[in-house]
Structure 1
Amino acid sequence: MKKKLQLLFCLFLGGCTGIPGNLAPIQNFEVNRYLGTWYEIARLDHSFERGLTDVSAEYSMAPNDTIRVVNRGYSVQKGKWKTAEGVAKFVQSPNIGHLKVSFFGPFYGSYIILDIDKETYQYALVCGPNKEYLWILSRQPTLDKHVLSQLIAQAQAMGFPTEELIIVPHTKK
């Protein structure tokens, strides 16, 4: 019985760092170009960001080839900033845009870069372990409407429920 529970637990955790069917992370990923601040332009709603505006993420190198992740968003309801610090690790190799991120000890979730502006790393399309998690990120608090429309269309073609996307306002400094 104990071995079955361990296997079930491993399968559950493995599912959290998996890739949604028929999708693939970007290849030739350059982590040093990805480091720095990214602003959340749009997202699918989920409990850990519900009600937050002005959401950003700061990525920096940490010991042991890990990446420090600091997510920040403003809670309008509480009238204050909410910050979460975590760590990201590459699932396969540093040149594949598939990482696992943890904000809660040994529990990791997938962070899959599906597309990126390969020339300047100015915008990215990112998902989680399934199609319930999707983010459109930009180096600036706004993103050209044409680029945003293209990314939304791309996500829709991949099977994400883009009609449920929340456009994230950025009004705080």
Structure 2
Amino acid sequence: MTSIFRNALRLAVGLVAASAFAQSTPPTAVLTTVPSIELARYQGVWHQVALYPNRFQKMCASNTRATYAVEEGGTVSVTNQCRSADGKEVQAVGQARPAGAARVSNGQITPPQLQVRFAPAWLSWLPFVWGNYWVIQLEPNYRYAVVGEPSREFLWVLARETQLSATDWSAIEARLKEQGYDPAKLVREKHTP
């Protein structure tokens, strides 16, 4: 088994374990998403610029990014990639689907509450392989997005570019505090050529 495949498998297993944990942890308060997202505008490449550290991304040392592509019926293919400490590319492929009250209509998902799985498709019938992916902040021009989940154990700041301005960070941190997150726990991502 190649090391890239092993790392991708570890990433997938970690995401499954994290999603099971996130679903079993009761929320402390209601987490609010943005009203809706336009799927066509949301798809494409997003760079992870910050996150709450988690065990399933430990092998990622830099250049973490996600590529989303809209599929039939409002599902979204998800390809996560990063560079490990030894310089190898690690990749995990998954799928996102609307969850809870979320509905897809006219190319929009309202509210943007999704579930993501990185486990193989044949395991998709198991509820614990799906992790919550809620868009809780979105810059109007889709330059950055903040993704969380109701337990507030996991958090990702995504952007179209690898850096955000000080003004953007101030807006993100203020909104995170309103949502019950601790911005001090965010770790900035390294991006290298």
The runs of 5 or more residues in structure 2 that have no matched partner are 1-18, 104-108
**TM-score using structure 1 length:** 0.83
SS in 2 for 1:23: coil
Instruction: Give the TM-score, by structure 2 length.
Output: 0.75
Greater helix share, structure number: 2
Native 8 Å contact 1:109 1:129 kept in 2 = no
Matched, 1:102 2:124: no
Please tell me the root mean square deviation across aligned C-alpha atoms, in Å.
Answer: 2.3
List structure 1 runs of 4+ shifted beyond 6 angstroms.
none
Corresponding pairs, count: 159
Query: How much has 1:50 moved relative to structure 2?
Result: 1.8
Deviation of 1:113 after TM superposition, in Å, equals 0.3
Shift of 1:79: 2.5
Choose from 14, 17, 23 the match for 1:16: 23
Please give the alpha-carbon distance, in whole angstroms, between the structure 1 residues aligned to 2:75 and 2:24.
Answer: 16
Distance of 1:113 and 1:18 partners within structure 2: 19
The within-5 A match list for 1:63-102 is 63-76=72-85, 78-91=86-99, 92-93=102-103, 94-102=109-117
1:35 paired with 2:43, answer yes
- CA deviation after TM superposition for structure 1 residue 71, in Å: 0.5
Instruction: Please tell me the residue identity of whatever aligns with 2:162.
Output: P
The 5 A counterparts of 1:128-147 are 128-147=149-168
* Per-residue deviation, residues 41-72 of structure 1 (Å, max 9, x unmatched): 11000011125211100000224431000001
- Equivalent in the alignment of 1:54: 63
**Offset at 1:149?**
2.3
Q: Work out whether residues 60 and 68 of structure 1, in 8 Å CA contact, stay in contact via their aligned partners in 2.
A: yes
Letter in 2 for 1:44: Y
1:17 deviation in Å? Answer: 9.1
Whichever structure has more strand as a proportion of its residues is: 1
Query: CA separation in 2, counterparts of 1:32 and 1:148?
Result: 25
1:114–1:19 distance in 2 versus 1, CA, 3 Å: farther
